[in-house]
Amino acid sequence: MDFANEIEELVYLEFQDIDDRDYQDKIRYYERNKKAIKSLPYEVKLEMTLQYVVSLFEVGDYYRYLKYVDTLLARVIEENLFSLDGDDIYQELLFRKAASLHNILDYYSAEHVLAELCKIDPTNSLYKRTFLKNNMDRLRSQGQKVRAGIISMLLVSGIVIGIELLVIRPFYPEQIQVIEWSRNGLFGGAILGIMIQEFLIRRRSWNKMKAIFKAG
């Protein structure tokens, strides 16, 4: 690598000397030396920026990762730099983008990115699992009103049990059967509702993933 001066070379070497898993130090060093990094050769600057942006993701700074990743993806395509240290940097950046979108609850955008990844590499089980998880989380989020109703049924069944123990059994034993039917009906209905909702969520997610592979 050709550096204009020893200071630039030192900045690069010091950055590379930081342990690959010491993401916080990578971030701090990069941000302290932004001015010097800007004057580095293009390929070196790109490599350091890639490591910096990946470090942002690894420490959970998803919003800042998303702020930079699209520009980096464009540069990777322009420079035809799809492999770095044996890794497919394009797919790794794209996958982290999908994961970041999922973690900030932007399920629709994450689904779009994951669908593209599944088309790029249909054999990748991680992409498939993440697509399914994202889709199921989206459907669960959309079905919160239904789930709230189911939880209400469980709470009411608990209240009925309390009334049964404190009032019905000691004072109105002739009403025990009616109360038991009510309590069991509420509890059983709530459990059945949870099972049906989860079944529908999983089936819809699987069907959506199958549709993506057919379209691809």
Mean pLDDT, the chain, whole residue set: 86
Task: Write out the DSSP string of 106-165.
Answer: -HHHHHHHHHHHHHH-TT-HHHHHHHHHHHHHHHHHHTHHHHHHHHHHHHHHHHHHHHII
pLDDT in tens, 39-55: 888 888 988 999 999 99
Q: Which of 80, 104, 139 is the last residue of a domain?
A: 139
- Res 10: pLDDT: 85
Q: Are residues 90 and 125 in the same domain?
A: yes
Q: Is residue 210 part of a domain?
A: yes
Q: Are residues 38 and 86 in the same domain?
A: yes
Are 23 and 51 in contact by the 8 Å Cβ rule? The answer is no
Partners of 83 in the beta sheet? 88
Q: Are residues 10 and 97 in the same domain?
A: yes
**pLDDT-wise least confident of 20-34, 77-91, 99-113, 193-207:** 77-91
Q: Are residues 79 and 47 in the same domain?
A: yes
Q: Cα–Cα distance between 177 and 150 in angstroms, integer? A: 23
Q: Is residue 1 part of a domain?
A: no
- Res 215: pLDDT: 60
Q: Are residues 173 and 110 in the same domain?
A: no
Nearest to 58 by CA among 90, 30, 100, 19: 100
Q: Percentage helix, strand, coil, to 5, in the chain?
A: 85, 0, 15
pLDDT in tens, 67-111: 999 999 998 888 776 666 667 889 999 999 999 999 999 999 999
> Distances from the Cα of 150 to the Cαs of 78, 101, 180, 195, in angstroms?
52, 29, 19, 11
Q: Is residue 127 part of a domain?
A: yes
Are 216 and 131 in contact by the 8 Å Cβ rule? The answer is no
Are 96 and 57 in contact by the 8 Å Cβ rule? The answer is yes
Are 79 and 71 in contact by the 8 Å Cβ rule? The answer is no
Q: Are residues 109 and 152 in the same domain?
A: no
Q: Which of 139, 167, 191 is the last residue of a domain?
A: 139
Query: What is the mean predicted confidence (pLDDT) over 147-157?
Result: 80
Q: Is residue 84 part of a domain?
A: yes
Position 3 pLDDT exceeds 60: no
Q: Is residue 30 part of a domain?
A: yes
- Res 216: pLDDT: 56
- Res 82: pLDDT: 61
Q: Which of 139, 165, 200 is the last residue of a domain?
A: 139
The tally of domains found in the chain comes to 2
Q: Are residues 109 and 175 in the same domain?
A: no
Q: Are residues 34 and 54 in the same domain?
A: yes
Kindly report the CATH number assigned to the domain that includes residue 68. Answer: 1.25.40.10
Q: Are residues 154 and 109 in the same domain?
A: no
- Res 76: pLDDT: 85
pTM: 0.79
Q: Are residues 56 and 134 in the same domain?
A: yes
Domain that holds residue 104: 6-139
E strand residue ranges, the chain: 83-84, 87-88
Q: Are residues 159 and 135 in the same domain?
A: no
